[in-house]
Amino acid sequence: MASAIKKNEGFGAAQLILALSIGILVVVVAVPVLLIFLNAFWADGKFNVQDVLRVLSEPDTYQALMNSLIIAVGTTIGSTVVGTFFAWLVTRTDLPYKRFMKGMFLVPFMLPSFIGALAWKMLLSPRAGYINRFFMDTFGFEEPLFNIYSFTGIILVEIMYLFPFVFIQVCGALERMDPTLEESARISGAGLFTITRKITIPLVMPSILSGALLIMLYSMAHFGTVAVLGIENGIFNIPTLIYERIHQSAGSFASIRTGTVLASVLVFSAALILWLQNKILGKGRYQIIAGKSFRPMELKLRGLRYPLLAFCLAYIGFTIVLPTVVIFLVGGLTTYGLPFTAEHLSLNNYKFILFDYQVTRDAIVNSVTLGLAAALITMSAGVMISYVIVKMRVRGKGILEFLGMLPFSVPGSVIALGVILAWSGKLGINLYNTVWIILVAYIARYMAFSIKANSAALEQVHDSLVEAARACGASMGQALRDIVLPLVRPGMFAAFFLIFLPALRELTVSIMLYSPTTRTIGVAIYTLNEDGETVMSAALAGIALILIVSGQLFINRLTRKKAGR
């Protein structure tokens, strides 16, 4: 009898947690995304494809679609080549200082690409860029050396910040790969480049393609770089056109409808890309990881060791150090365009940004507050949802898993537009122009991060621990509080920072939802730059970089401490 009561109690608790979890995800994720499709394809009470085709055939929207495709394809090809090459260098060759190089190649992963775009605008804008001015003044060039306001400029900047997607994937595959095939080829007389071209690259091709598709997904939906470098020259992609239409028309019906059509295109593109990725990874064409541990074979670079080391250092200096230094230097100038000399540099702008300028002070407070709130809420909800997905045997949890991972495949501009449709009075609640609408959007966007981190932690907690506690008379709540939560605390901690740090630098969602009093750091940097306040924009960007890098170093230190235990 007691056993039956416990089963019924457990069943009721499971169903309650499942219902609550689905309710959270339906309200936060499903409803906004559903409203986008209803707005795009449903008009006057009926299914309407004609209006969708009309919107897509308009010159501006058609051009934005083509621009998105051009930028995404160029970025994907370039990032794949760069990421694969550097991954091969640091994992399979005797390149000096490989550990340091690997760490440096991961740095762009934590830096906001729109801040990088801002730095390259300061360096390579046609007339005012410091590099272009140097060559024009020193060598008498009549034309700028390079115009950053171009497709080529946008693609090159995106490559600098997106290649780690491929780099991480390929490094992992190469480090775990059975090296016997390469060793056999070497014994047979094959050279370094023959082995790499005919054996190594084909074996890790699934990882290369997987990383490449992630880059395409990200680039198609990327707002920051195109907004900073493209709009000035009339180059719009889908997210920047959505932003431009909605903000220029103050959210009119026509602009919202255009936005929902374009957002639907992004969703379909993301779905196609993720389907292709699953097909590639699901084929299992190449089995490169065996059951026993291998030490990867190091290929000898011989005379190329130090030239390639110099090339790597030059790449790091040019793509990471130079733009970062320029951001801090420009942030210290009294007026943009002055030379970087002691008489023109000071910390006054940084003091003004932090203590005197209300707009930037509010932006920093808003970003930190929103980041903390979103991280705490999604971390807590993510634990509950992950527990249902990983540990409970109840019907309907497949729906929960789908809803939980949906934001991971939906671009940020789509989430923002869906939140506008859902929480601007249509459902009886109006959060528009308040900080709450940004918080709801952050929760929707980052929920998948929390679910992934907490699911990984819960997978390591054996079911027998909870069963033993229940057998000893503990309720489900007591078992979760006293056993499960302490064991998954590291996963919760990881989920918190996986959300807090990206929220600090977020731009794509915030730029669609902010009001004059709810600017975030990313929005303030972008709007200051658009208003011509270049030195203030750079100073705030420098402060943002310090916050982000400090947070990342803090996480790395704690992670190493936990690993050491």
404 and 370 inside one domain:
yes
Asked, for residue 182, whether it belongs to a domain, the answer is: yes
Of 300, 331, 362, the residue at which a domain comes to its end is 331
Cα Rg, the chain, nearest whole Å: 26
CA 47 centroid distance within chain: 34
Q: Does residue 309 have a pLDDT over 90?
A: yes
Q: How far apart are CA 388 and CA 562, in angstroms?
A: 27
- 27 and 82 in a single domain? The answer is no
pLDDT cut 90: percent of the chain above it: 37
Same domain, 271 and 411: no
At residue 3 the predicted structure's pLDDT band, cuts being 50, 70 and 90, is very low
Same structural domain, 174 and 81? yes
Residue 340 gets which letter from DSSP?
Answer: S
Residue 342 lies in a domain: no
CA 2, CA 513: separation in Å to the nearest integer?
54
In this structure, are 158 and 103 located in the same domain? yes
Last residue of a domain, one of 331, 362, 393: 331
Same domain? For 180 and 207 the reply is yes
Based on the fold, state whether residues 86 and 131 are members of the same structural domain: yes
Dump pLDDT digits (tens) for 62-102. Answer: 899 899 999 999 999 999 999 999 999 998 888 999 989 99
Q: pLDDT (tens digit, 9 = 90+) per residue, 517-529?
A: 899 999 999 999 9
The contacts of residue 108 (CB under 8 Å, 6+ apart) are 116, 160, 161, 162, 163, 164, 319, 320
Q: Is residue 547 part of a domain?
A: yes
Residue 395 lies in a domain: yes
Ranges 58-62, 270-274, 538-542, most confident: 538-542
Domain boundary among 302, 331, 360: 331
Share above pLDDT 70 across residues of the chain, in percent, rounded to a whole number: 90
One domain for residues 157 and 225: yes
pLDDT at 7 over 50: no
Distances (CA, A) of 389 to 240, 289, 361, 494, 559: 36, 28, 41, 19, 26
- Kindly give, in sequence order, each residue whose CB lies less than 8 Å from that of residue 292, ignoring residues fewer than 6 positions away: none
d(Cα 207, Cα 184) in Å, to the nearest integer? 23
DSSP letter (8 states) at residue 300: P
pLDDT at residue number 2: 39
Is residue 244 scored above 90 in pLDDT? no
Domain identity same for 299 and 383: no
The domain that holds 413 is classified in CATH as: 1.10.3720.10
Burial environment of residue 381 by CB neighbours within 10 A (0 to 12, 13 to 18, 19 or more): buried
Q: Is there a single domain that holds both residue 33 and residue 55? A: no
Number of domains in the chain: 2
- Asked whether residue 72 falls in the same domain as residue 164, the answer is yes
Are residues 411 and 319 both part of a single domain?
no
- 138 in a structural domain: yes
User: φ and ψ at 545, to 5 degrees?
Assistant: -65, -40
Query: Residue 527 has what pLDDT?
Result: 93
Q: Calculate the alpha carbon distances from 386 to 14, 27, 213, 394, 462 in Å.
A: 12, 17, 26, 13, 15
Mind listing the pLDDT tens digit for each residue in 13-30?
667 777 788 888 888 888
Which residues make beta-bridge pairs with 299? 93
Distance between start and end Cα atoms, the chain: 44
Where in the sequence is the domain holding 126, given as residue range(s)? 48-331
Residue 340 lies in a domain: no
Query: How sure is the predictor about 6, in pLDDT bands with cuts at 50, 70 and 90?
Result: very low
| pTM higher than the cut 0.95 | no
Single-letter code of the amino acid located at 376? L
